[in-house]
Structure 1
């Protein structure tokens, strides 16, 4: 079993690349279910293009630029959830505050994690940024991203 520790930088907010509408959008009945009020963790692994060594700063800058561009069109994701008055319904305040992004590095390669690479992943907690209580979704970024690059 492989073990490693990710070295994380400070979280930062990635905001939309351009101004976005400031409005409130109520969640649909499908989206506003108690059973969906938590952060879901997803881990994805990607290799560098052939012949190219990953440079942590360059990769992080590229992803932040791409996320900022996407948030222009998917601007509610840059907002915050809040409760609507007079009940327990939620809405998204489209504030443009941004999504959380953490840059991390680790001295582990994909090959070290085993083949085939399928869940449960070893040391999965090292690939996940800290979003605090995963059931506390009000007033926090809707998306937490951690980029972990092999060093």
Structure 2
């Protein structure tokens, strides 16, 4: 499939730091093949999806190099708490119980969806499993990320 994104503000973050106030992006399959103003889509008869991106910013995805999905459900619960006190609540988790695989799965998916919404496309998740690491716990974190990645691959 060919996708043509039209009229976006484009930050390429390439070696030349190219920036376009208004440009098109031509994508064939999973590869960006051209970036520039007023691109002409290929006339090879292939199905082309055109996306109007006027007023939108297109740039490479951001990387979150330090994230703890295990603390996801605590957002806002301990606002304005000094780090040392916060850590007493976060490790071990407030419940003091081993989270179920479903709990791990949901908190990881919610964190990943929030990051995607904000432009993060890669993450290093320091998901700790307190008080015990279990195979099911690790598998549930992995399954959530794989399922979300596969779902996003279906979206344009």
> Which band: TM-score by shorter chain?
under 0.3
> How high is the TM-score relative to the length of structure 2?
0.23
* Structure 1 or 2: more helix by fraction: 2
Task: Please identify the structure whose Cα radius of gyration is greater.
Answer: 2
* Structure 1 or 2: more strand by fraction: 2
Task: Determine which structure has greater relative contact order: mean sequence separation of CA pairs < 8 Å that are 6+ residues apart, divided by chain length.
Answer: 1
